[in-house]
């Protein structure tokens, strides 16, 4: 127990010492005007951050992510086909795919997939 406490104290002292040394020898100044403003991918940070955004684009992006994750779940299920019970595997796959198809039908029926402005 004593060795553990000594090791934690030594690690804390070394890390604190390194932080202090780095702060002392760093050449950057706190009030540097060129480094103070936020960098936003080349855009002017003084402009409005609330630009119009298409909700349809967001919904289609979410739909893409859902189907992308679906593929990541289905592919390992194909590999486990050899070592699992065929009836439980088939039941699981049918339920999983039916949930995805019902979700797609719901989005299609509500007009979420139509790209309108």
Each residue of 47-104: pLDDT tens digit? 566 667 677 777 778 878 877 888 888 888 888 888 888 898 889 889 988 988 898 8
Domain ranges of the chain: 55-109
Report whether pLDDT(112) > 90: no
d(CA 53, CA 71) in angstroms, rounded, equals 28
What pLDDT does residue 107 have? Answer: 80
pTM of the model: 0.46
What pLDDT does residue 7 have? Answer: 92
83's tokens: 């070592």
Buried residues in 94-109 as b, exposed as e (16+ CB within 10 A): eeeeeeeeeeeeebee
- Cβ-contact 35, 28 below 8 angstroms: yes
What pLDDT does residue 67 have? Answer: 78
Banded model confidence at residue 36, pLDDT cuts 50, 70, 90: low
Q: How many CA atoms lie within 13 A of 84 on its CB side?
A: 14
């Amino acid at each position: 127990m004593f060795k553990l406490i000594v090791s934690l104290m030594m690690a804390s002292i070394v890390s604190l010492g390194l932080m202090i040394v780095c702060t002392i020898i760093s050449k950057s100044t706190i009030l540097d005007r060129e480094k103070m403003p936020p960098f936003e991918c080349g855009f002017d940070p003084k402009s409005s951050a609330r630009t119009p955004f298409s909700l349809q684009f967001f919904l289609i992006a979410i739909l893409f992510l859902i189907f992308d994750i679906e593929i990541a779940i289905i592919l390992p299920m194909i590999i486990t086909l050899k070592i699992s019970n065929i009836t439980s595997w088939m039941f699981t796959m049918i339920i999983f795919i039916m949930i995805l198809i019902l979700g797609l039908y719901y989005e299609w029926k509500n007009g979420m997939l139509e790209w309108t402005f």
